[in-house]
A = this chain, B = another copy of it.
């Protein structure tokens, strides 16, 4: 069957993707003590920079990426760099650092554990949001950047942006936190489903699969579960409705398997399958599990006696953005979270993005986001 669902994929708005000024690795010059009690020996952070650091070193901006993102923010968030938008290649020095746990260059489950000489695999420890921020601070130190004009991110990137403001209050001027709050029960449930999809794949092998033999069907299903949580029901309805799959399958007929239990697909199913297939070609299952755990465990109040003690530390001016149709991090939850932080004395502004794109809106409707922030 020909799958033509790539037509509905998100395309970059211009064919000229932004190339970074520099892309490289930073190796921490010592072990990173993790919140979970374990240690990462000299982990690597892969990062990309755009624009140039000025002489005063006061034009640095840190972008934190979402779950399956990379350091190449110019490729996945290009419209944020449009003239007059949020970031300026002329005036800003933009840094984006791949999260620990990822498979895009920073130390993750696929990296070699210097203690064993073999890749971490399932032994890769829990790296919290706070651990990531502490590692990122060392990278900025190495670049001579003491203070950030702005730190921003959506989803798990927003978790990092807020954590930066709490952990390093003197280093953050402004923070922009998009579509995020500590994960609620529904979000934890969705992550639990995705985790099981991978774990149940016999190819997962308890996390000890060979790189050339990964748990593809499990990771594809996990991505499909994630996709429905990133999109809103009205968007899916408008795009796919009850249409049969665009390749000509008929839900009333058998599909290729000849089983009466599995009919031809509806269009939404063809779309999800396509998204799952695209994902397994670009992401690693263990890295996915690692970052799910980073996301699940984020609690900005952990270790503080009260919200006042945690959020009272913040010196940055915060802007939170809720997305009207987001059901993974509902706008209401983001707004309530904002109020909790404001009550603790921080300077917080809340804005709501009206979009039917769901959680994905900060990536799918970048021009709208830019308008909201102007």
- Pairwise interchain contact B237-A184, C-beta atoms closer than 8 A: yes
> Is the C-beta of A297 less than 8 angstroms from some C-beta in chain B?
yes
- With A and B bound together, what is the CA distance between A190 and B272 in angstroms? 10
- With A and B bound together, what is the CA distance between A239 and B237 in angstroms? 30
Query: What residues on B are CB-neighbors of A192 within 8 Å?
Result: 224, 265-266, 268-269, 272
Nearest residue in B to A328 (C-beta to C-beta)? B233
- Partner among B123, B266, B268 whose Cβ is within 8 Å of the Cβ of A260: B123
How many residues belonging to A are interface residues under a CB distance threshold of 8 Å? 67
- With A and B bound together, what is the CA distance between A228 and B228 in angstroms? 12
- Partner among B217, B224, B228, B242 whose Cβ is within 8 Å of the Cβ of A182: B242
- Partner among B202, B242, B260, B272 whose Cβ is within 8 Å of the Cβ of A184: B242
- With A and B bound together, what is the CA distance between A119 and B253 in angstroms? 21
- Pairwise interchain contact A269-B228, C-beta atoms closer than 8 A: no
Nearest residue in B to A243 (C-beta to C-beta)? B185
Instruction: Kindly provide the distance from the CB of A371 to the nearest chain B CB, expressed in whole angstroms.
Output: 28
- Pairwise interchain contact A228-B190, C-beta atoms closer than 8 A: yes
- Pairwise interchain contact A286-B268, C-beta atoms closer than 8 A: no
- Partner among B123, B126, B200, B217 whose Cβ is within 8 Å of the Cβ of A252: B126
Chain A 181-240 residues near chain B, CB threshold 8 A: 182-186, 188-190, 192-193, 195-197, 199-202, 206-207, 217-218, 221, 224-225, 228, 233, 236-237, 239-240
Surface stretch bound by B, among A8-16, A57-65, A161-169, A288-296: A288-296
- Pairwise interchain contact B228-A188, C-beta atoms closer than 8 A: no
> Is the C-beta of A307 less than 8 angstroms from some C-beta in chain B?
no
- Pairwise interchain contact A184-B259, C-beta atoms closer than 8 A: no
- Partner among B122, B183, B236, B327 whose Cβ is within 8 Å of the Cβ of A189: B236
Query: Which A-B residue pairs are the 4 nearest by beta carbons?
Result: A122-B259, A185-B236, A261-B289, A186-B233
15 contacts between A and B (CB under 8 A): A109-B261, A120-B260, A124-B261, A126-B263, A182-B242, A185-B237, A185-B240, A186-B237, A189-B272, A192-B268, A193-B224, A193-B228, A197-B197, A233-B327, A266-B296
